[in-house]
Structure 1
């Protein structure tokens, strides 16, 4: 039986495609790891070193270093960070970015001088690499790329990102594009760090931005809460009081500020689903029928549906959905039990119960704080979380903070 001859053309094409994909994979891995390093670095030295380490840990990349262009007469390229198994290659090396110097005609000098990426396809034949050819052979280096790191001020590069490979022709057009993007990100990071040797400015700006966003988010939440209260004047202030009680309980439980802010946001809109309930039912001055009660209970799921697609930084919609759930499964809308209910849902349940019983409702006068506390104590460990209930009682001991909240709002 005759075997079908191998199509050498197709085989060569397949191998070429495989090689290109492999090269791209190396570059993408390096870019991904370096991006993570950029995100966590908090100083110039750490940023440069971790980026170099991230690159040199991938594929055939045996060396990565960052050089800073100096303004001296020799136009020295100062090595400010290096990593890789071939790090010895760059030790005590002299590099310039002057065209008048032999050491300025290699990829690093050419890159800085022209402000353009420089690629060495194969250092054994590249005429600009003559000065380092023997040294490169000693460390198994065959190809290299130099990408300008912008300084964002003068238009000239801050310096150069150099990456070396033990494989010839490692850096094609796709790889060039990826490393150029990385060099730009390094430049962005360095511009922030250079001013104070750390990322203080960037961190401060980020904190200010987060603060502004948090303020805007809080204002939006409070506006949504007021909209609800306009439809249901009898519960005016209810959500705000529940929010204050929930925050106080959270502090007693030792929650951090961010978690307390989250419970505040959830409490401020926990009854927003009542917008789907007819106002005549919400303000009815007598006991509700079973059907009317079902309609009121539907406000929890309606609230979840209103909030679930809003990109809050916390699971606000889930917290709202759980504020009427109970540990024994007797709650609604999903009948969750025990560990299925989040800590935030448990705090909201206690805070909502206290406020609802202690204040006036259309169908009954206020029962008072003492009755409310008796109720949650009776349900502790059965329907309500014991630790949350204990935290609420501590608020009574601490200058009766609960009563102050109820009287203030």
Structure 2
């Protein structure tokens, strides 16, 4: 039982990323339970009216017919939408048609069950929530406004006793009949709440996942998968903007792959890209969970080490340098490439006020010192006292 529910949850959630046609078809299916509830409720009412006085209402026949007709109508529209090829503009028209028809069929249902009752309120709220998750707000707002206008006009007509019939959920004088109508109201409301809650939960879960995925892609370097320069600088600025009393030591390590241009020239840019991925993976494997690695530019990588002193950051950089020396990168048909890098380390240390630009610039100076001293080494920046 759990597996089919999980699959249904996943399928419903996917609709938020679907095409206009797929969303229109989804509306056809999501409306089915409402009309089956009307059909079955009216059928039960007609059956029970034989035994309990006061249950009978002529509108039970209309509800029985409408529930069946609306269910078959939405089934036909769903099958038509699934089987008919459509252009992009055709899909949009199909979606707009389903939204409009859903609103109109909802108004017809309202005329049967009556305005401003538990079931009407729950259906209206659920439809608006689902609609806003799937479609542009102006479309749903227009349909909602028209529905509210119809509800208000109908409620006024009912209050003035100007209607010629009694809505299905209006109060009755006979107590046993009223108990039955109350039970049907509660059962219908409960089923619709379960259906809408499940649907809204599936859609919002997928929406949150989509938003999280979009954000993650926006901060990632598309080649290496580590964070990009923008996110590095944003995180570093946030760390340095903390009040001094709450700020811990922070170290940065800037590294540059040695002789990277020669790798591109000799093996081609595809192998050069593989080398950058290899470097990123090697560095990531040698950092703590709360450290942040990012691609600073080209073949340069920047590591943010929260809470690390200068000596601790130097140890981390030495560990990364040793891992690069040890982990050669295999190449099909050629000897494995031994990659090395030059590392520059800087730390906030005792400085009470230092900005991101200065901290990175210090690490950059130390890195270029490492290059001038022969590469494949770690150099720390000594700040003048």
Q: Please give the TM-score of this superposition, normalised by the length of structure 2.
A: 0.31
| Highest RCO, 1 vs 2 (Cα 8 Å, sep ≥ 6) | 2
Q: Please give the TM-score of this superposition, normalised by the length of structure 1.
A: 0.30
